[in-house]
A and B are shown apart, each in its own frame.
Chain A
Amino acid sequence: MTHIALSGVSKRYSGGHDALAGVSLNIAAGEMVFITGHSGAGKSTLLKLMAAIERPTSGTVLVNGQNIGTLRPRGIPFLRRNFGLVFQDHKLLFDRSVFDNVMLPLDIVGFDRREAVRRARAALDKVGLLQKEKAQPITLSGGEQQRLCIARAIVHRPAILLADEPTGNLDADYAAAIGDLLRAFNQVGVTIVLATHDLQLAARLNPRIIEVRAGRLAS
């Protein structure tokens, strides 16, 4: 089953910069895909198009068979709930505890409170932050913040995990731990799409690798 399908996708930003040009790509359910390439090659744009954060200038992006380009604005939130998003800059909320950060996606979906608390704890346990649930995110190290971002991304058990440079500025030990986490999710059937230039991580996980060069796929 195809989870994400791009065909002839181009993205031109206002100002005339072509981030992507004619990209076609299929990602099957349960696959693990690394998108590599130099910074500025279009990795992040590719992820944003998949997550319905950007609309393509031309071509179609299908997620679970739904065309993102023609989706009504009302439908977008529900499409996004299919994803877990791991951001390069984490996007944690510093006005609330670690635990409440993880609760956010469940509050949004409107989970039963007791079940939500149980799931949030389980997600924190998976990334090894359960004993820090009451801490403020600002007090966490870079690696811990990244893991918290992952916990928030997986807490609502999304079918697809989209991660932008999840090991970006982490040292090797932390990067390895996050690699193990990703492998574990993939083994229970989560589709994983990663934008990274961490070749060590690629060597560890042995994913399908797609290289982007100046807005085109190089294969």
Chain B
Amino acid sequence: MMAWFTAHRLAFTGTFGRLAGAPLTTLFNIAVIGTALALPTGFYVLLANLQGLAQQYAPEPQVSLFLAADAAAADVRAIENRLKAHAGVTSFRFVPRAQALDTLRRRAGLADLLAGLTQNPLPDAFVVIPAAGNAAALEALRSELRAWPRVAEVLVDSDWARRLDNLLAIGRYAVLMLAAALAFALVAITFNTIRLQILTQRDEIEVSKLIGATDGYIRRPFLYLGTLIGGSGGLAAWIMVWGALQIFNRQLGALAELYGIPLALTHLSATDSAYTLLFAAWLGWFGAWLSVRRHLIAYDPI
């Protein structure tokens, strides 16, 4: 156990020393990986902010429930009670048919038209504010309300929600695709870096194998190197996005003052930051693992 620990510590400090020994190469490697990762990270941050803004400033979706024209006061009360008891309803407002006609009459140009009517053609209605704002929940609520007795029509103004959902979904796919492509690039970069490192250390690998080094012993420093390069690249990406946000926010500050609303882009949450770093480190490890698998076989003397 102690020996295992010592072996890992030696491999790690050796790797670290090697990186520090060639600072310029290390720096460029990390910068390349950092830039590759900063792109999808930056887009993701923008998307997350957009989603946040949309939820903050978009009007709340409404569901309009129209009763049948011949609905009695008892029916209205029954619907009212059901709405009160419904978990998916945040609040609602009753619009009596007389009040609706009144509102309509006050609109310019309609008074004459309405004067010709002998009776009120409008039904009683409820304006319902649902608890969940996404398209699927709204649709479900609509079908449910529609089935209630004496309900003639239920209208959902969920188009905007659906459109925003679609747009954000497209954005998410774009970010995912970009991330996949650049993750592949990162794996390729570490693969190549490790290949060069294996070539540089071929004497050491050969001698170590001859005097009884296990494959694990040979592999370990390269895997550490890949992980360290990937993780550092992730950190570089995080810092790049952070810097870009600082610049953006300074510009947005002026805009926000103009419109009188607080506008500022926020960075990745702590959890997302941790995931990004871990993912980058894992990609580095994976690239190194592939490279070691591919290139160390050549050095087995037997």
Contact = CB atoms under 8 A, between A and B. Distances in A.
B212 A110 contact: no
Contacts of B24: none
Nearest to B9: A113
B98 to A, nearest CB: 89
Contacts of B203: 91, 93-94
A193 interface: no
Interface string B1-41: 01110110010000000000000000000000000000000
Interface string B266-289: 000000000000000000000000
Contacts of A94: 203
B197 to A, nearest CB: 12
B278 to A, nearest CB: 28
B6 A112 contact: yes
A93 B207 contact: yes
B302 interface: yes
A14 to B, nearest CB: 14
B2 A112 contact: yes
A111 B6 CA distance: 8
Contacts of A81: 211-212
Contacts of B210: 51, 53, 80, 85, 91
A105 B211 contact: yes
A1 to B, nearest CB: 22
A77 B214 contact: yes
Interface string B64-97: 0000000000000000000000000000000000
A109 B6 contact: no
A53 B206 CA distance: 11
B302 A104 contact: no
Interface string A112-142: 1100000000000000000000000000000
Interface of B: 2-4, 6-7, 10, 203-204, 206-215, 217, 300-302
Interface of A: 51-55, 73-74, 76-81, 83, 85, 91, 93-95, 104-105, 107-113, 152
